[in-house]
Structure 1
């Protein structure tokens, strides 16, 4: 069976016409086949959105949360509203076509399409995932970098699209190259006025005593799907959970911290800005076992 599957959606949004009025809702295409128009605004301007969804036990994890975030991102960019039923069916169909794997993922992409055409482009790509087991045990070295925005940018400058998961990922890739130049593996963004935000591809969570926190709401950061699942697990252990605005020096005093994301799951931070950072091996193992076993 295939290790990667690509499904092209005929009508990604009920607000726009289909690409082919007589065609099926989706078509499976060889992922190696060139398909995207050179005029598609997703390619020329990064004008689109995406979600990356972990697959466990042949089921997309936190699917409804991902779909809600997908719709929110579309609204933020004023894209045609994704037809959630169509996308949900396409995600399940792609997983069904994919060969068995210990870990897999699904990526959903919606672009504005060819300029002036009025029909968005949409596809679902499912594939076997890489091996992140070492990072989940050994941890990651992290540096903090200024994102260049105040913590309240979501309220003061909504046109900057803070909190939307867009295809404009040049900065997110650039900061990872900067991390490598500094001898680190990953990044935590901080606001220009000093507050901890998120990683370029992850949410930040941290433990202080018997409470697991994540940076506060309204900071122009993504509504973390994996962070939400980690909170449910922590609460099942009797730990408290909460949202809190903190600075980078305050994060440095936490008992443990993680970068969490749909594909990598929970990667403990073992070094922060060049200083050794405590890791909670038992809680890390429990979080990752819980995340890998999720079926919704």
Structure 2
């Protein structure tokens, strides 16, 4: 069951349409050029997680693309319409993926196309939460300072142009892995195609949680940010890179975190088994469940 709700000025709470029928114009710039933005969030029992953080990042991405999109209140109303329709159709589904999409619209029309999509969490995503991940390092092809030199590359925006990210995941799967961690051409750890990198050290009674620095051109992770805030309250030290591949190989545990898959341990990296910690994973998973 997939629910689609288009943001339409004539419908205050959004316009529900038939997801089994064509809805997007073939001349929409989101389809022809990937000219648009999106966000994905988890909803549990009809309640979207980190909604305001996702709406804030959507607005930031829209500003980076100079894209005029509906305001946060309009998105929130459409989200609730979509979740209501989904709950009515799928009463036994506690979890749902809520995707917000905005494109530059039909070429020449001068108006954005925007919609909310609500669907079940894929079974493969749930399986990876339990099984952990085998991951490959892949070079992204940029150095870690390019975002500061070339803002038109939109390195920190969540755009629809995900062809490279999906190609990286397909390459990983063709080579016996599940996912990817990108590195820069100057040897810095960046992010996953759809996730943020986390690593931890538990040394001399002090637990430290680290993630790559945003200045390297990665997407600001809403789940990573929420987890860092919760971990700080629990006495963890926090760090923001710069990180290099050897830091992950030396860590006591490494994870990928995202809004839908949540916190997943990395078990193997470039064919090398990593240290893992059931205790650290359990502690952080509890924080994710409570605050993320």
When normalised by structure 2's length, the TM-score is 0.92
SS in 2 for 1:94: helix
Q: 2:220 aligns with which of 223, 226, 248?
A: 223
Q: 1:57 to 1:104 in 2, by over 3 A?
A: same
Q: 2:134 aligns with which of 123, 135, 141?
A: 141
- Give the conservation status (yes or no) of the 8 Å contact 2:144–2:184: yes
Instruction: Map 1:201-216 onto structure 2 (within 5 A).
Output: 201-209=194-202, 210-216=207-213
User: Deviation per CA, 1:5-44, whole angstroms, max 9, x where unpaired?
Assistant: 1101114xxxxxxxxxx55451111111101000000000
1:81 deviates by 4.0
Which residue of structure 1 aligns with residue 251 of structure 2? 254
| Equivalent-residue separation in structure 2 for 1:178 and 1:134 (angstroms) | 20
| Equivalent-residue separation in structure 1 for 2:155 and 2:113 (angstroms) | 23
SS in 2 for 1:252: helix
Q: Say how many residue pairs are matched.
A: 283
Unaligned runs of 5+ in 1: 12-21
Unaligned runs of 5+ in 2: none
| Equivalent-residue separation in structure 1 for 2:48 and 2:21 (angstroms) | 25
Q: 2:103 aligns with which of 108, 111, 125?
A: 111
- 1 or 2, which has the higher helix percentage? 2
1:241 deviates by 1.6
Q: 1:44 to 1:278 in 2, by over 3 A?
A: same
- Give the conservation status (yes or no) of the 8 Å contact 1:74–1:82: no
Q: 1:258 to 1:74 in 2, by over 3 A?
A: same
Which stretch has the larger CA shift, 77-86 or 106-115?
Answer: 77-86
**Does 2:179 align with 1:186?**
yes
SS in 1 for 2:166: helix
Q: In angstroms, what is the RMSD of aligned CA positions?
A: 1.6
User: 4+ runs of 1 displaced by more than 6 Å?
Assistant: none
**Does 2:78 align with 1:90?**
yes
1:181 deviates by 2.4
| Equivalent-residue separation in structure 2 for 1:36 and 1:203 (angstroms) | 31
Which residue of structure 2 aligns with residue 126 of structure 1? 118
Which residue of structure 1 aligns with residue 146 of structure 2? 153
| Equivalent-residue separation in structure 2 for 1:63 and 1:23 (angstroms) | 21
- Give the conservation status (yes or no) of the 8 Å contact 2:62–2:69: yes
SS in 2 for 1:172: helix
- Give the conservation status (yes or no) of the 8 Å contact 1:55–1:61: yes
1:188 deviates by 0.3
1:273 deviates by 0.7
- Give the conservation status (yes or no) of the 8 Å contact 1:163–1:221: yes
User: Deviation per CA, 1:94-147, whole angstroms, max 9, x where unpaired?
Assistant: 112212323211000000001110110000001111233432232100111100
Which residue of structure 2 aligns with residue 10 of structure 1? 8
